[in-house]
Chains A and B, each alone.
Chain A
Amino acid sequence: MASALPNDIEFRSVTKAYGAVTAVRDINLAIPKGSFLALLGPSGCGKTTCLRMIGGFEQPSEGKILIDGREMNGVPAYRRPVNMVFQHYALFPHFNVEQNVAYGLRQMRPRISETEITRRVAEALSMVRLDGFAKRRTHEMSGGQQQRVALARAIVNRPAVLLLDEPLAALDKKLRSAMQIELQTLQRELGITFVLVTHDQEEALSMADQVCVMSAGRIRQIGSPQAVYDRPADLFVADFVGKINRFSAVLDADRLTARLADGRALSLGTARDLAPGRIELALRPEAIRLEKADGEHPLSGIVTHRIFLGSGVEYAVQVEGFGDFLVTSDRSSGETGLAAPGDAVSLTFGPAAIHAFHASEDA
């Protein structure tokens, strides 16, 4: 990740262990200024630990964390130029909205004048569209409003980095997508580096411009949402970032042809950078099209379920010897009426859509 811009945050061989349990193992990561990075992974993958180490709530067992080029090891949370939006908001219950938002400003030395504080609090509240809520008690507000107070309380300080710990997890689906757009807009307006922790791949892909996929305390892949989705580094990433259909094959010496279990050949289009032998293949559901069974295609089966999703249709196809395949098609492709449960179909796909990985990959 070579960048001309200075990095806001750097992890240098960071390891965090709690007794015998290693939460984060040898992480190297550079987050450029002004970027929106999502730490994505299942629970327990170490993403929250990474965020808390940036915030100063945990100290690395080994390695260094730099913020804005300054080493942060041993620097307590209250001396770091970062602010966090907590998962459960962590608003101060005995303060009203205005007092909550002004809290960080009031701690700053040299002191900020009351008029300046009032001005900046009002500005922050208007930025999160909470004008007129200044005197409200926080427990009188809805979850979405509390979320925005937490956001205002963080951005009002104009931190170098804003940390977001699953900030949308407690919101319902509609509110969540609205807040996703708001957060993205806010990030562009403020130009602050955002680091978002989430286990929701859709959230990560839609909001961030860099996605860092983690599992078991390690980084599996860092890249743009498209890169992570279209060119997953391994089977775990392919599986976690979206849905996949996976099946085993044997790669021929030409590194171009895969032999399926029944001996049929499947062309991979281009020579793959893998050792010949056992490999794992993966296909995204939307990369597959269903056609009437013709015996020509290597993968054919019977439609067992059809699930209407509104915007598209999801099929489950049972392929002899390979198990169930998931196929999605959107309605604009006009093939909605094609298959019904019980139909015999062939699965067709372009060779470029096939992801191939080492068989030894754990996932």
Chain B
Amino acid sequence: MRALVTSVYVFLYTPIALIVLFSFNAGRNASEFTGFSTEWYGKALSNAFLMDALQNSLVVGLVSATLATLFGTMAALGLERVGPRMRAIFDALFAAAIVVPGVVIGIATLVALVQVFGIANGALAAIWPGDAPPKLALGFGSIIAAHGMFTMALVTMIVKARIASLGRDIVEASSDLYATPMTTFWQIVLPQILPSVLAGFLLAFTFSFDDFIIAFFVAGSKTTLPIYVFASIRRGVTPEINAIASMVLVASLILILSARLLMRDGRNTATT
């Protein structure tokens, strides 16, 4: 049993360890370690295409995570007030958004966006007074929308769990002590759910930042970091790719660990 578990972990983590190891390879060959060097990190960070893709990924990640956090938290708060049947339906829908494969979401979003853009562009052209009506097209907006929709489900699930552990008691106590619903939200509810809101934001950002599949379908001409990496690999795996992967890995780990810490912190204060 122990051997099995060990081999599972070895199988899982050896490739990752190798990527990190080879990102420090002095030679250009990806199968032979010829000496320690950080030159590939320097190369990666001075690659203009790469930096552009990184910037795109950061913008998409930050905007989509912000939107997802805002709407996801609002959805979680709103779902507290609906009936049990409505809540069950929405729970199922949010769970579905998380378990549906990325490929399906990617294709579905692409098809939907193209349809909507077709109709909207036609309508815009018809009513636009000038010669060159604005055209909606795939790009930042579509990646942000696709990522935002998906990660909103994630945020909602996380914040909902926290709200459920909060109970109605302190909200009623606040109301009993003359606080208006608005004051109760800012003074009592928000401080209590804030760790889970931040955790939701970090996970949403991490997801968006790491996502290749959905972005690949809806990105149009834009290049995000995972799309850039995918495109480069077709020209062969260089230690530069390994360096990028290692940096993304470390950044993602930091974000996810922070999210976990925040969620644990939230639970601790909940039990007291």
Contacts and interface: CB of A to CB of B under 8 A. Distances in A.
Nearest to A107: B178
Interface in A78-125: 78-79, 82-84, 86, 88, 90-94, 103-104, 107-108
A92 B176 contact: no
B169 A107 contact: no
B180 A78 contact: yes
B95 interface: no
Contacts of A94: 191-192, 269
A84 B173 contact: yes
B169 A83 contact: no
Contacts of B187: 103
A47 to B, nearest CB: 17
B169 A104 contact: no
B172 A77 contact: yes
B176 A55 contact: yes
A93 B172 CA distance: 14
B172 A104 contact: no
Contacts of B31: none
A160 to B, nearest CB: 13
A79 B269 CA distance: 29
A59 to B, nearest CB: 13
Chain B binding surface SS class? helix
Contacts, number: 64
B242 to A, nearest CB: 45
B174 A93 contact: no
A93 B175 contact: no
A110 to B, nearest CB: 13
Given A103-B174, A139-B272, A90 B179 contact: no
Contacts of B237: none
Contacts of A93: 170, 192, 269-270, 272
A157 interface: yes
B53 interface: no
Contact of A78 (B169, B179, B192, B272): B179
Interface centre among A77, A91, A153 (most CB of B within 10 A): A77
Name the interface size band of chain B: 20 to 34
Contacts of A84: 172-173, 176
A67 B269 CA distance: 37
B1 interface: no
A108 B178 contact: yes
B182 to A, nearest CB: 10
Interface string A262-302: 00000000000000000000000000000000000000000
A282 to B, nearest CB: 40
Interface string A120-158: 000000000000000000110000000000000100010
A90 B178 contact: no
Interface in B186-201: 187-188, 191-192
A76 interface: yes
Contact of B179 (A55, A56, A103, A153): A103
B177 interface: yes
Given A83-B177, A104-B178, A92 B172 contact: no
Contact of A90 (B170, B181, B269): B170
Interface in A41-59: 55-57
A91 B174 CA distance: 9
Contacts of B176: 55-57, 77-78, 82-84
Contacts of B270: 93
A88 B172 contact: no
Contacts of B174: 92, 103
A186 to B, nearest CB: 18
A48 B183 CA distance: 26
Given A78-B179, A83-B177, A107-B177, A57 B172 contact: yes
16 contacts: A57-B176, A78-B175, A78-B176, A84-B176, A86-B169, A86-B172, A86-B173, A90-B170, A90-B173, A92-B173, A92-B174, A93-B270, A93-B272, A94-B191, A108-B178, A153-B177
Given A76-B175, A77-B176, A93-B269, 14 more contacts: A55-B172, A57-B172, A57-B176, A77-B175, A78-B176, A78-B177, A79-B178, A83-B176, A84-B173, A88-B169, A92-B174, A93-B192, A103-B174, A103-B179
Interface of A: 55-57, 76-79, 82-84, 86, 88, 90-94, 103-104, 107-108, 138-139, 153, 157
Top 6 A-B pairs, shortest CB-CB distance: A139-B272, A104-B177, A90-B169, A90-B173, A107-B178, A77-B175
